[in-house]
Each structure stands twice: as structure tokens, then as C-alpha cells.
Structure 1
Amino acid sequence: MSGKEKKWSCEYCTYENYPSALKCTMCRGPRPFISEDIYSLHNNDDKTNSAAGSCDTKPNINTWQCETCTFFNHIKDQICTQCGSPFVSASNLHDYLQPLKITQHSDLAQSLSQPRNNSPPASLTNVENSKRMTLGKWTCMICTYENWPRATKCSMCGYTPQTSQRPPSSSRLISPSNQNIDVSNQEDLYRTPSNIMEENNCEAERKLRLMRRNADWNWLNACIGVIEGNPVPVEHYLSSGGDPARTLTASEVAILNRSSAFDVGHTLVHLAIRFQRDDLLAVLLTQIRGSGSGRKNVPSYIAPDIAADIRRHFAATIRHGKASFPYSFVTEFPTFALPAEVDELPGSVQEQLFEELLDKDAQAQLESEPAVINWSLELTVRLGSRLHALWNRSAGDCLLDSVMQATWGVFDRDNQLRSTLAESLDRGSDIFYPRWREYEENHASFLQYSLEEGQWEDDWQSMLQLANSPGTSLEMLHVFALAHVLRRPIIVYGVKYVKSFRGEALGYSRFEGVYLPLLCEQSFCVRTPIALGYTRGHFSALVPMEPYSRNESRLPKTNLGSDQLQSIFLPLMDRERKILPIHFLTESEMGREEAILRQWMDVCESEGGILVAQQLLHKRPLLVAQMVEEWLNHYRRLAQVTGAPFPRPIPVQDYSSDGDTDDE
């Protein structure tokens, strides 16, 4: 070392380092900054120039170049001051010569087979290495990411390709069979990457088209419907016999091509929980808990053409009131009931009929302790007034569908009843709003809170918007308005507490009670009510079974007319003998509930002291009778099959929920 070279001291450990060291050799601390003229350093001796200016590509006899980072270090440094790699000199060169022998079983050959070591052998030039590595990669058919040849699945999206979708082993750099470089096929070395990419993309696109052609799109559309909050495809999948516990496969996830939403193994329930679709989750869990096989053959599904005629006939019965009646109303008042001929079918056919017609889950909830319906043996057995919960669509139109089922036996598929309801509330706001606000203010004062005028106006506008939005759930006001549209009372038997799926009570349900057309003239309305059931955000039509056959010769000798059967008795009390609440009464009307019920309905008292309302069953309208008869013939044919000398299994027919209209 010449006298001009001056060591520098580390600020942390005071170790004196050579001028060429950029870091402390002892503690690896940084070299202190010294203001120097960088141009004067160029005239220093070769040793300082080569060490301090390590970017110079010309080596010096007093320096050695690191094989790892190519940094020029001072000859006295045993390790690289830049990366810490050891100095390999002629004295210890023999320690590194032996591992350089590349054989089939050498350590270096074994290390080349590791997945994290993708570098080519040193014998290939950089251009050859780049070409071989590009040829060896395979392109993902989902995200087009180029993966290394040894990757079993895509490193970007996780897609696992089939063996035929990956390039052949001869085009790869290292063959997994013998751990050596395969250059037997010399043509693969000169194939351009674009040709291979084009070949792989064509093959991938062909396979993807094949998967799409053979896919179950009812199932895939249901998955998309869950994440988008659209209940129509989900309902269509379930009603056509789809399994709610079905899981997504890898090919189906590839077809959907939304890795952020769909994962392999997910069910509709997983998707509903992930995207917080509570309404759809309730329907799916109900299906899984065993509400039936998923096949529903309601009368409107068996005879869809007649059902469409019934809806058109119902639309023709709607009139638009004027002056004192600014809302719309109907002019016919049918009441739907199950035909008595059901009892004439064999037991196995009856069981299938009720399985495909009723909502077993809603029936069980309404009859579970404490029971809401069918809790009196006097009414259900002696008086033949047992109520059955008809299966209903799970969309937000369930209230309107249940009202149409309880009257005409069909669904409100074309939203005719909803549009009539929205128009009635809009045109009759001057008479509906004061009574609604007074009723809600009384309830709010009972809960010790109040609202400002602007808040009441906003709530009323939201009620109008709900009525005019198909697919959205409705409130108590809409049931009250429907009683005016139908010009008849509506009795809702509902659970008192809304419970979670674990059975925990979430809140108090206010839907149960009697809804009367209080804003109409009594002489303008009929006294026969309809019955609905409410269970956890869902309405169902509650209908009885006719006590006698339609055959007039089998009718009992009573004073009833030829077009009238027998009365069905609907309880106006709960099982604790408390009168059901009458909704939307004013303060002056409260305390006279029983008298008001007798004014609007034919009320009597049973021998057991139960206050009941009479529901008179009249002769069915012609179209409804034709639809019911065609529906019965379907099960009569099944009874003939089972009653033949050589009985055959009952054929299963799936009727999807979209068979009810021409549009769906």
C-alpha cells in the first residue's frame, strides 16, 4: 500500500477500512460521506481507480472481480464488499472444480431439476437460453399467463390444465424422465414462440367451446343470479329439480371466467353468504332442509295456457274508480280451494300431489309450537276447515302471488296486480296517507320515538316506490291497500317473531292480523275473506279443501244455493284466545275490534268458544274449473299407472317455473 492511500474509520465500530471498501468489513456499516472532487479520482493510481470506481470494466492486477455480482474488489479483500461472496483464487480453485462435472447423477444436474432453478446449462449461449426457455413455457387458457414447464397449475389464476394442453416434453428444456436436456427433436429448437402460442390458443379455445356447449346453463345462470341478486334464474333452477347443494367444478369455474367470484367447490349457499344475498339464502336453506324434491306441479304449471287466459280475464275485471273511489278495484270475487276429488286418489298419488303442491316448510313453521294455524281440532276435524299452505315463488312478489293463488289459483306473472296496487296508492294518496300516518304514529309513540314531517314524507314515497318496483318485498300498507283493491277482508296468519336460521329471534313480526277495506263503503265490498300465511319474509296462500264433491247429487241437503258449497271457518283468535289485531284503525276505532269484525264479515262463535269468520265457497269460474280439472287429470293418469295389473313406476315430470307464461 502506498503512502497516498489512507484508510477510513467506521463510525459504528471504529474499524479502519481500506479506501476501496464501500462498507465496513467488520460491521458492514456504510462508508462516511467525504466531500471529494470526483474528477480528481480519475488521476489516482490504478489500484484506487479500479477499486473505488468499480463500474470500470477494465480489470487491474490489484483487484479481483466477483463472480456473483461482477464487482471489482481489492486484492486483499477475501470476500466481496458488495455481496459478500468469497474470493476464488488459484490456491483454492481445486475446491470448486469437482462440482462442475455435469453428469446424470451429479449435484448440479439434481439442482437443475428443482422447480425454483429454471436457468439453462452454462454451455448454451444467452440467445439459445432465451429461445429454449420461451419454447418451454405453456400458456394458461384462462388468463394467457406464460408458466414454466414444470408448473402443474397456472401461477397467476391457479387453473390446472389437462396434460394435452401443455407442450410436449421434447420442447421443454429439462425432461422430467431423465433429468437431462432433450435435443432429439431439432425442429422444436427453431419453432417460433408465436406459432406455439397460436397452436395452444386454438386448442384452448376449442376445448372451451366444447365445455360451453356441454355445460348445464340452468345451473350456471343460477350461480350468476346469486351474485347479481337476481332470483329468477335461481328459482328456475330449483323449480326444475336442481340440487341446491351442487358444487362448482373446475371446468365450470373456467366457463364462468370470474375468479374473483367463483371458486371450485362453492355451492349456491356459499355464493349467497359471500355476496350477502339474505333473501336468496333463505330460499336455498329452505330447500336444503327438505321442503321437497324441488319439483312443483301447481295447477298453473300443468295448464299454462289456461293460466294465461285466467290472468287476462282477471285484468279485464279491473275497474278504475273515480270521485270518492280514486283507486282501482276488481269486479269478481272467486275463492280458490283444493278440489274434494283429491281424496279419491290412491295414497301414494295423494302423497306425491301434496309434495308437489304445498310448501311443506311454511306449513311446518305455521303449525309448530306455538301453532298459528290448524291448532283447533274442532275447526280442522269437526268443521273441515284445515288450511293448506300452497307453494309460492320465492321472489319479492310473493304477497301478490299468494293473493292471486287464494282467489284465482294462479301467480301474478305479468305483474297486473302489482301495477293495480301501485296505481291505487298513487291515485288514492289523499285517503291512504292520513290513516297510514296516524297508525304508524301511534305505534311509534308506543315505542317512545317520533318522526319529523320530512321523514314521514320520505317514508311514504318509499312505500309508493316499493309498490311500483317488481321483485321487491312489500309492507303492511300494501296488504291494507290490496284489501281495497279486492274489496274484501284479508286475514294474515303469521309467526310472531322472525327467527334466524339457527332459531334465534331477530325481531317482532307485525304482519299477523286482519286487514279490512275500511276506506270503502260496506255495501260496496263482499264479506268473504281470504287467508294468507307469513313466515320469515315470505307469504303463502292458505286454502282449504272442499268438503264435498262438485257433483250436485252428493251435496248435502242444506239451504245453500246450487252454486255454493259449504262454509269454511277461519279463526279470528290465536290459540291463547286473543282476538287478532285489526291493522290501520284510528284512535277512535280502537277498543271496538269485535264489533268492527262483525260489521265487515260473517262472524260467529263455535261450540268451543272460538270466534270465527265464514269463508263461503262458490262455484268456480269456468277457466279456473278447466285448469283444476286438467291438473287433476294429470294425477288421475298416475293413479291408473299404479293401479294397472302390472304396475310401473310413477313417471316424474319436471315443470319449470317459467312454464306459466309465454315470455318465460
Structure 2
Amino acid sequence: ERKRSSRETQRRYKRPENIQHTVKVERGAKTRKRFASRGAPEGSEMCEMEKWVCEYCTYANYPSAIKCTMCKGQKPLLNEDIFRLNPSPPPGHLGTLIESSTLSLSNSNLTNAASGPSSAHEARNKWHCAMCTYQNWPRAQRCTQCHTKRDADVHNMQEHLKTLSIRRSDPDLMASNRSSPFGSATNLSGSRANLSGNAAAARVSPSEGRQAQALAAAKWQCAWCTFENWPKSLKCSMCARSRDSQAATPPPEHAQATLVSPQSPLGALPASPDRDLSADESAATNVVGKRSQQRSMEASNNCDAHQERRLRQLRRQADWNWLNACMGVVENNIGAVETYLACGGNPGRSLTINEVTLLNRNSAFDVGHTLIHLAIRFHREEMLPMLLAQISGSGPGIKRVPSYVAPDLAADIRRHFAAFLRIRKGAFSCHYVNEHATFALPAEIEELPLAIQEQLFDELLDRDAQKQLENPPPALNWSLEITARLGSRLMVLWNRSAGDCLLDSAMQATWGVFDRDNVLRRALADSLHQCGHLFYPRWKEYEMIQASLLHFTLAEAQWEEDWNTLLSLASQPGSSLEQLHIFALAHILRRPIIVYGVKYVKSFRGEDIGYARFEGLYLPFLWEQSFCIRSPISLGYTRGHFSALVPTEAYSRIEGARDDAEDVTFLPLMDCEMKLLPIHFLTEAEMGREEAIMRQWLDVCITEGGLMVAQQRLHKRPLLVAQMLEEWLNHYRRIAQVISAPFARRPQLTGYLSDGDTDEE
């Protein structure tokens, strides 16, 4: 079939009326043959032969058609095909194969032979399917009929095949082409002898010329769908595959087949080297390696671009005064630190992860560092006093309780408290304290300026807890008679926000320090374990009464499980505590404990989700009344947190010579609705006698407004507590002196003697 088509094509080329035609393919030959067999007239035969074949869909269009009737593709022009054979011909060369000025009739055979139609070239290069022998187009990756994949060897050979370029013309080539247009076509798959004999007649089709021009334009071809993409495209526009690095790489010089110049003999052509299979394998390996390397480089480039965009955004949002101050501490630039503080910067501000990323010095900066951390780390002794003075003068957010100002005295107080813990011999071997103390804020606070007083209260009190307890319905300071007339306003002290808040508040209400050494927690756990046979029956009976009010009961196994849970909570530092632990603390301190708290537990949305059940009176029922004192302490409860409630000493105590008279604080035993506070852990026999029990364990009195209150007596401060409070007050007194002092001091005048005496003399 190929030989017959070749002979018919040769005959067509020899006919003078067909010399001027540009495109001739097998379909045209078959059509002419079909028309001749049917006896068609000569005019219709000529019209059919003059049709031009579309390069995209191979449809034969009439000569007058400018676009393809089927796919609307542009009609190929002869001038374009000729010029694309050699994009850069040497100027002034007389032997150039293709001239752009004129197209003569004499060299049309050479033009048709050297630049045959792309459709005819592709038709000759069709590949046969190994399964169904169907002839498929060269660019097809699968068989059109059976969808079988193309042979890998043929695919690889055509993939790595480099385009040919014509550089010079050859008169012998012209002559051979005039006599036999297709007789000297080079077979790329032939042997070395065929190549050496016919290399001068190698021709390049217009489609291959266009591919060379596309490569020269830096377009890259997709290895999967053969679509030519723009150079900036990272993925194929058709199949979305990653870019093939080999597509954008121009073919090397040793892979280009060129035609010899007229001066060089045909025998001087270099022989084609034998194919090396190992080289092909290494080339394929290099292609795969380059593809993976390009993908990794693209991924890294994308990450770098994302990181750069993130850094630009952080730079726009950064506080550069703060970052320059941090760099100033590291580089010993005190001016940057002073600029930051002069702008109202907070010296206690800590570095965030984004700010550490911007500073980009992991060896110097870390998340959470403040200016003081950096000054201590880099030994900036001249900056530390300035930063500490700024922190001393700062208000909200920084707490300065007496135990923080005088840590050594606070440690001595904790050791003193631990030394006075005893265990009573007998059936009820519970821990108890041998010395009592009640903490109150010193009256000397009123001597400080109002601004310093406000700063002191901000650094000492828990403003949020105070606000919650005083908000309606109020649980604290709700009676003007008690707060204003009797001077018994209670203040909420700040403590550590952890599971130790109950023990901290109990220690603050008595000695003014935190339970940092867990002395009180160990005493609590030991007392519950050793005296469980007395605590458990009263706890179980009280809980059964509360459960019956809610109409449910528990089995004995559940009671024992709950009891074991309470015991384990008491022995674990940092774990939250319950009502039983407050009841046990009343026995350890040997005094009543009054808890003022919110009645409902709220969610983070502010919705009521349950009863708090902590508010009320806790009495040491398991001790004898004579063994306990009648002056209670008060605690506050707000949403899972306990705080110490302490009064302020009367200002009359600092006037003149101090006497040993006791100050009295009145603690209400009723809520804002004039109902008695509940007494926890009462037995069923004690129910209904709440007021009598209160009078039995407390110094109860009735105010003029009809309120039942308990008297809390303030004794003389213990020596260690007095020293700690004095050192704490001195801190604020120094701040008051700095504020009241003039900004510029008068310089001291120094007189120098004119005689030979020294200045010291």
C-alpha cells in the first residue's frame, strides 16, 4: 500500500498541472483514483485535487475556504511553511535552499520534496497497534480502536528524538530531488550504511520546523498529552501534570542532524554512532531524576514564597518600638529601651512566637522572654534598675502581695506555722494548730497618696472576684449598715489560680501567706485518712439528706467510691477540693469558717448550669467547743475559685500609743434575702436548730437593722507578720517619695580652696 501510494504520488508530481499544489496526501490520491474509476469529468477531478487538507483534523477543504469547515483551523500558507524550514538563513547566501523573495516554478519540486506536507509526513509515521494492527497518529498515546498503550520503546524513541535543522543547501541534493523527490528520503531507523548513502537527502517536514520554532520560543511540551505550554506555566494547561524539565531544554548540538555544505563531500559526513542501551537507560534515569528534582524545587519555592508573604504580613503588623527595645537589650543600646518606655510600653511584655520569628535570632530570643529576662541573661546591669523601677510603678496585671515583697519572711512564717501543727492523742487523732492568727490589711495604707493606694489595691486584690461577689444578687458587702456604719467591709485577696486556692486562701486569712510548701494540704490529707471513721459517717449522712431532697439515692458502693475520690484529691497537690475539705480545715484551724459565694455555677456564656453549694457555715463539730475559738475566718467562692476575705484595720489603731484593745469585724450570718446561711454537715437530729448552733459556736449579735452577725476579733499581729507588712508598706512609701520629689534637684555647690590644701581638707 505504501509503495503504491508512493508511485502514485510520484506520478502526480511529474504532471505539470500539479506542480503548483502545496499539499498532497494519500487521501487526495485515493480520491482522484475514486473519481477516475467512476468516470468523473476532468473539471470535478481538478476541483477535488485542488482541495487543501487541514493540519488538525485532515478534512479536505475547497481552495476558496480560508478556514477548515470542520474544526475552523487556519489554512496553511506556502510561504509560512517555507520560512519555518530555516528560521535564520544566512543573509546574502546564494546557495540558500529557501528564498523568501520569490517562488519560481522550476524549484517547486525541490520545495515539495524538502518540505513535504506535515499531514503526509505524519501519515507515513503512523504507528501500528500491537493488538489490533490499527494505524494510529504519531501523537496518540493509546490505540484509537482498542485503547492499548503505545509500545514503550517506540514512545521513548520518539520522545527523545531531536528535531532536524537545515543549515546549508546542496546542489547534488537539488538534482536528486528533481529527479526523484522521495527516493532519497532518510530513514531514521535505518542502518549506518543507509544513513551515509542518503544523509544528504534528509528532509524536514513543516510540522517538525514548527516544533523547532516552538522550542526556540521556549515553550515546553507536556510528556503526557503533548500540549505545548507557555514557559511560565508550572503545570500543563490540558492535563494538569507537572512541568517536564526536558521539554523546555533545547536539544544539544550533538543530537542535531544537519545537511552538509556544497563544499564538503558526501563521504565526509560523520557516521552515526551505534546506539548504546545503557546510555538510554541512564538518560531515562536522568529524566526521572530531573523531574523529581524540579518538583522538590517547585515545592521548596512555594514554601519560600509562602514564608516570605507571612513575614511581610508580620512586618506590617509588628510593634517595632517593642522589637527594637528587645534588640537594644541584646546589643546594649539603652536608647531603644528608653524610647519604648517613653512611648508607654509595658516592661513586663513578653515575646510571642511571631515576634521571635521576626527577630530571627533563636540564640538570643525565646517565646515568653521579657526585657528583664533579656537584661539578666546578657548582664545589662545598667538597664535592670530602670526596668525594675518601671515594673514597680506599673499597675494592672502585676500582683505584688506581701509574701512576694518579703519572700524570706514569708518562708519563716510558713516554717513557724508548720512548727505549731500538732496531732491530738486519742480516738480523734486530727491535726490542729496550737497558735491562732487573723490577717487584716494594715491601717497605714490610708497614709499613702490616693494614687499609690489605688496601685496597691490593684496589685493586692482580686478585682474580678470582688466584682462577681458584689454583683446582684450580692453575696458580699451588701449591707450598708455593716460596711459603712460598722466599718466591716471585706476585701478579696488575690491568690494562685490553681487547685491549691482553698488552702492558699485559708493561709492568707490567718497568716497572710500562701501554702507553697503544702504544709496545710499534708495535714488535711493525714487528718482525713487517720480520722476517716469519724468524718465518713457525718459526711455520708449529710450527703444522703441532700440527695433525698433531689429525689435520688446511692448504693453503698457508690458512697465508698466517692469517699475514696475525696481522699485522693486531698493528697494530690494542685487538685480541686470540695465541701468535705473545708469541713476538715475547720477542725485543723480549730475555728469556724464562713464561705460567701455565688449560688449558681455559670457557663462561659453566663448561663446558670447548677447550684454552687459552697456558701454557708462550716463548724468543727468533732472537737469540743472549749477546744476551739469563736472568732471565724471568711472565704469567698466564685466559679470554682476560693479567695480570702479580710477586713482593714481601723485607723484609730495607729493614733498615739497603741493599746492591746481588740478590733472587731462583723461578719453577716444572713444573705441579702435575710435568710440564715446554711450550716454544712449537720446530722438529721441537728436539723431545725441552726440559729441555736450558731450562737453555740460563734459570738453572735444582732445589729440595729435586725441582722445576725458574727464577731471576728483581730488580735495583735504576730511579729513575723508585722515585719512582712512593714517591708511591704515600705515599698509603696518609696514609690510615694519618688512621685512627690521634684523632677530636677538643685546641684550641690562645691567650693575649692585657692591655697595648697586638698579639697578634702
**TMscore range, shorter length:** 0.5 to 0.7
Describe the SS at the equivalent of 1:361.
helix
Matched, 1:641 2:744: no
- The aligned residue for residue 446 of structure 1 is 549
- Identity of matched residues, %: 55
1:639, CA displacement in angstroms?
0.6
Counterpart amino acid of residue 148 in structure 1: E
CA distance in 2, matches of 1:96, 1:578: 102
- The aligned residue for residue 114 of structure 1 is 233
Q: 1:405 aligns with which of 466, 489, 508?
A: 508
- The aligned residue for residue 525 of structure 2 is 422
Counterpart amino acid of residue 413 in structure 2: I
- The aligned residue for residue 627 of structure 1 is 724
Q: How does 1:249-398 map to 2 (within 5 A)?
A: 251=357, 293-398=396-501
CA distance in 1, matches of 2:627, 2:359: 59
Q: 1:470 aligns with which of 559, 567, 573?
A: 573
Q: How does 1:117-196 map to 2 (within 5 A)?
A: 117-122=242-247, 123=251, 125-129=283-287, 132=290, 146-148=296-298, 151-153=301-303
1:162, CA displacement in angstroms?
9.8
Give CA deviations for 1:267-318 in whole Å, capped at 9, x if unaligned.
xxxxxxxxxxxxxxxxxxxxxxxxx732000000001111111111111010
Counterpart amino acid of residue 400 in structure 1: L
1:337, CA displacement in angstroms?
0.4
1:104 to 1:579, Cα distance in 2 relative to 1, 3 A: farther
CA contact (8 A) 2:444 2:654 kept: no
CA distance in 1, matches of 2:446, 2:630: 29
Describe the SS at the equivalent of 1:454.
helix
1:498, CA displacement in angstroms?
1.1
CA distance in 1, matches of 2:577, 2:547: 20
Describe the SS at the equivalent of 1:351.
helix
Q: 2:613 aligns with which of 500, 510, 518?
A: 510
Instruction: List gaps (5 residues or longer) in structure 1.
Output: 2-49, 55-59, 138-145, 164-210, 215-238, 257-263, 265-291, 556-561, 649-664
Matched, 1:614 2:711: yes
CA distance in 2, matches of 1:355, 1:104: 76
- The aligned residue for residue 562 of structure 2 is 459
Deviates more, 1:101-110 or 1:390-399: 101-110
CA contact (8 A) 2:443 2:654 kept: no
CA contact (8 A) 2:220 2:244 kept: no
Describe the SS at the equivalent of 1:366.
helix
CA distance in 1, matches of 2:358, 2:545: 54
CA distance in 2, matches of 1:67, 1:250: 55
CA distance in 1, matches of 2:674, 2:744: 50
1:243 to 1:478, Cα distance in 2 relative to 1, 3 A: farther
Q: Which has the higher helix share?
A: 2
CA distance in 2, matches of 1:296, 1:509: 28
- TM-score if structure 1 supplies the norm length? 0.63
- The aligned residue for residue 755 of structure 2 is none
1:112, CA displacement in angstroms?
3.9
Describe the SS at the equivalent of 2:505.
helix
Matched, 1:101 2:207: no
CA distance in 2, matches of 1:100, 1:449: 91
1:241, CA displacement in angstroms?
4.5
1:563, CA displacement in angstroms?
3.4
Give CA deviations for 1:156-203 in whole Å, capped at 9, x if unaligned.
xx866999xxxxxxxxxxxxxxxxxxxxxxxxxxxxxxxxxxxxxxxx
Q: How does 1:547-558 map to 2 (within 5 A)?
A: 547-548=650-651, 550-551=653-654, 553=656
1:67, CA displacement in angstroms?
4.9
Deviates more, 1:544-553 or 1:104-113: 104-113
CA distance in 2, matches of 1:114, 1:250: 36
Number of residues of Structure 1 aligned to a counterpart in Structure 2? 465
Describe the SS at the equivalent of 1:577.
coil
1:405, CA displacement in angstroms?
0.5
Matched, 1:603 2:700: yes
1:336 to 1:250, Cα distance in 2 relative to 1, 3 A: closer
1:131 to 1:545, Cα distance in 2 relative to 1, 3 A: same
1:553, CA displacement in angstroms?
2.3
Bigger relative contact order, structure 1 or 2, given CA contacts below 8 A and separation 6+?
A: 1
Counterpart amino acid of residue 101 in structure 1: Q
1:115, CA displacement in angstroms?
2.8
CA distance in 2, matches of 1:636, 1:527: 36
CA contact (8 A) 1:299 1:627 kept: yes
CA contact (8 A) 1:547 1:566 kept: yes
Structure with higher Rg: it is 2
CA contact (8 A) 2:492 2:643 kept: yes
- The aligned residue for residue 260 of structure 2 is none
CA distance in 2, matches of 1:617, 1:494: 23
